[in-house]
Structure 1
Amino acid sequence: MQQLVEVFGVWLVFVNVLALSLGLPVPALPTLILVGAGIQLHADPAWPALLGVLAVSISASLLGDAAWYYAGRRYGMRTLQSLCRLSLSRDSCMKQTERFYSRFGVRVLTVAKFVPGLSMVSVPLAGAMQASLPRFLRYDGIGAALWASLGLALGAIFARQVEQVIDILSQLGGGTVAVLLIGLTAYIGYRWWRRRSLFKMLETQRVEVAELQSHLQTSPLPLLLDIRAPGLRDVDPFIIPGAEFADERKLEPILAAHPRDTRIVIYCACPNEVSAAWMAAQLRRHGFTNVLPLRGGIDAWRAAGFPVVAIPPGNASLPANAEASADA
């Protein structure tokens, strides 16, 4: 076990946690558990060394998170969308994070590291939402401290059990590493296959921005739904003219208010229009015959040079008499 502590030393903890904070798929929590167990078994007293490792872990976490915070502050939605494209759960990563953030604000950072996928997007979202640096560092630091303390505490409490597991793995030799790598590869492959299956299921026809522009010049007008979550509309406070806000989890108002032959166009802020495509599929199941996601969402609309409408601050409904703008 002493050799284990030397291998997974303080500097490796720093590098491991920093890499995780920067978005690399590395298992930092197991490293903290192993180091916590090693310190508990071989340091007397153990608490000074544990506090030292805790400080190193918090510093590494804040350093990596600060990079994403400033990226979100400078580049906004582009940073969030890029991160969600890297996620194996891109259909939910942005929506889930934004809903947590809308409810708790920057305080969500205190628990973000405990929720898979939440930490990856909540940090740049805090920057995009213009959270002040002192508040960001305060809550992110608390979250980093709680997360690292959990790992070190688990290692210290179950030090003997951890040592027994390591001894068993050592006796099994290199085959154990191969089995673990195969298992990790299989897990990532399964998640990737699930994402591909979802995209294939939702790979229906999209409406192009030029087509939507033409539809908006005809009568009757299509029902245009903006299903971005409220916090993301705060980051990008513009909508396509004529759009109404909707929640893909709450279809009842749409089902009650519109006939099934209504032409509906849906847009979101998620990669590959996944949320919009999912909502379109749900509406089709309820009998709507002409519902399509907008390819590229509001970003493609804006990039094509079509006007957007500013949302009055704090207004969660369709803005009346809002001023059109050609750019954000």
Structure 2
Amino acid sequence: MQDVVDKYGVLLVFANVLALSLGLPVPAMPTLVLVGAGLALQPEATWLPLLGVLAVSVAASLIGDSVWFYAGRRYGNRTLQSLCRLSLSRDTCMKHTERFYGRFGIRVLSVAKFIPGLSMVSVPMAGAMQARLPSFLRYDALGAALWAALGLGLGVAFSRQVETVIDTLSQLGTGAGVLVGVALAAYVGWRWWRRRTLLAALEAARIEPSELEALRLAGQPPVLFDIRAPGFRDVDPYVIPGAVFADERELGGILATYPRDGKVVIYCACPDEVSAAWMAAKLRKAGFRDVLPLRGGIDAWRGAGYGVERIGG
């Protein structure tokens, strides 16, 4: 282990952290732990090398995150949705990030790397929200430093245990690596299969933008819920005419306000209308007879040439 850390430790940290920041599914925390443990086992002082590795890790994070920051600034919602499609938890990916960002703003970047899913989307959301570059760099660097310091610190604190694990795996040979790879592939496969099964169940019913427009023109507009989080409405401050803002976490108010025999249409800003489909399922379970997500959300509505209204306009 010592030879690997001496020869390739800094390079491995830079490559792993940069790849992770760019969105590739590669683990970087284990590399930080391994390098921290290797440096702690050196006979000479380790603080200066640790600070050097910390600086390299922060630099790699800033390089990768800056790519997504500018992608979010230029392409907005398209970047966010593309990233959420890569997530194994796409039903919560966008919504959680919207809520965290709406509550804490750019400061969320200081803790985003510690929260699964949030780290993937918070950076391009900062760009989409037109955050100032100095603020982005300051909070993103703080978050990257805290995250890397945790990994290196764990390696230093448990250096002997890490060395024992590495030695044991070395004795087991390639079989250990194969076993770890199979376990990881099985976990990802299970999550993917569960997500596909869920999406297939939720895909059963949708309303097309043309159908919604036909109802409006016929004087039979349904109750229309916009369930995008407040933070995301700042990115795209428009609504479909007649839409009412709603929160799927507060179904009590909806149940008390709207008749359950009326038609309800829901739209969100998430891939495949997953959040809207979730809420539709909850409303059906509560007794609503006719609830449908709008296929493609407000983007599909605009793409079909139908009008929108500016919030507060």
Relative to the length of structure 2, the TM-score reads: 0.98
SS in 2 for 1:291: strand
Once the two structures are TM-superposed, the CA of residue 218 in structure 1 deviates from its matched residue by: 2.6
How many angstroms apart in 1 are the aligned matches of 2:103 and 2:258? Answer: 30
Once the two structures are TM-superposed, the CA of residue 6 in structure 1 deviates from its matched residue by: 3.6
Once the two structures are TM-superposed, the CA of residue 8 in structure 1 deviates from its matched residue by: 4.3
Residues 204, 277 of structure 1: 8 Å contact kept = no
Question: Any stretches of 5+ residues in structure 1 without a counterpart?
Answer: 313-321, 323-328
Instruction: Give per-residue Cα distances to partners, 1:107-146, cap 9 Å, x unaligned.
Output: 0001100001111100000000111000000000000000
SS in 2 for 1:42: coil
Once the two structures are TM-superposed, the CA of residue 7 in structure 1 deviates from its matched residue by: 5.6
How many angstroms apart in 1 are the aligned matches of 2:163 and 2:261? Answer: 65
SS in 1 for 2:94: helix
Once the two structures are TM-superposed, the CA of residue 41 in structure 1 deviates from its matched residue by: 0.5
2:89 corresponding residue in structure 1: 89
How many angstroms apart in 2 are the aligned matches of 1:7 and 1:279? Answer: 53
Instruction: Give per-residue Cα distances to partners, 1:198-248, cap 9 Å, x unaligned.
Output: 112212211000000011123342101100111111100000000000011
1:24 corresponding residue in structure 2: 24
Once the two structures are TM-superposed, the CA of residue 299 in structure 1 deviates from its matched residue by: 0.3
User: In the alignment, is residue 205 of structure 1 matched against residue 205 of structure 2?
Assistant: yes
How many angstroms apart in 2 are the aligned matches of 1:220 and 1:257? Answer: 19
Instruction: Give per-residue Cα distances to partners, 1:178-201, cap 9 Å, x unaligned.
Output: 000000100100110111121122
User: Whose RCO is larger (CA < 8 A, sep 6+)?
Assistant: 2
Query: Equivalent residues in 2 for 1:128-277 (5 A)?
Result: 128-277=128-277
Query: Equivalent residues in 2 for 1:67-106 (5 A)?
Result: 67-106=67-106
SS in 1 for 2:41: helix
Letter in 1 for 2:208: E
2:44 corresponding residue in structure 1: 44
How many angstroms apart in 2 are the aligned matches of 1:134 and 1:82? Answer: 26
Letter in 1 for 2:183: G
Instruction: Give per-residue Cα distances to partners, 1:148-187, cap 9 Å, x unaligned.
Output: 0000111011111100010000001100000000001001
Instruction: Give per-residue Cα distances to partners, 1:7-28, cap 9 Å, x unaligned.
Output: 6410111011000000001110
How many angstroms apart in 2 are the aligned matches of 1:6 and 1:95? Answer: 43
Count of residues in Structure 1 that have an aligned counterpart in Structure 2: 313
The runs of 4+ residues in structure 1 deviating greater than 2 Å are 218-221
2:54 corresponding residue in structure 1: 54
Letter in 2 for 1:46: T
Letter in 2 for 1:202: L
Once the two structures are TM-superposed, the CA of residue 67 in structure 1 deviates from its matched residue by: 0.4
Residues 88, 195 of structure 1: 8 Å contact kept = yes
* Range with bigger deviation, 199-208 or 88-97: 199-208
SS in 1 for 2:306: coil
Relative to the length of structure 1, the TM-score reads: 0.94
Once the two structures are TM-superposed, the CA of residue 43 in structure 1 deviates from its matched residue by: 4.9
Once the two structures are TM-superposed, the CA of residue 260 in structure 1 deviates from its matched residue by: 1.2
User: In the alignment, is residue 304 of structure 1 matched against residue 311 of structure 2?
Assistant: no
Letter in 1 for 2:12: L
SS in 2 for 1:9: helix
SS in 1 for 2:291: strand
Residues 8, 31 of structure 1: 8 Å contact kept = no
How many angstroms apart in 2 are the aligned matches of 1:134 and 1:30? Answer: 30
Change (3 A) 1:189 1:249: same
Once the two structures are TM-superposed, the CA of residue 252 in structure 1 deviates from its matched residue by: 1.2
Question: Any stretches of 5+ residues in structure 2 without a counterpart?
Answer: none
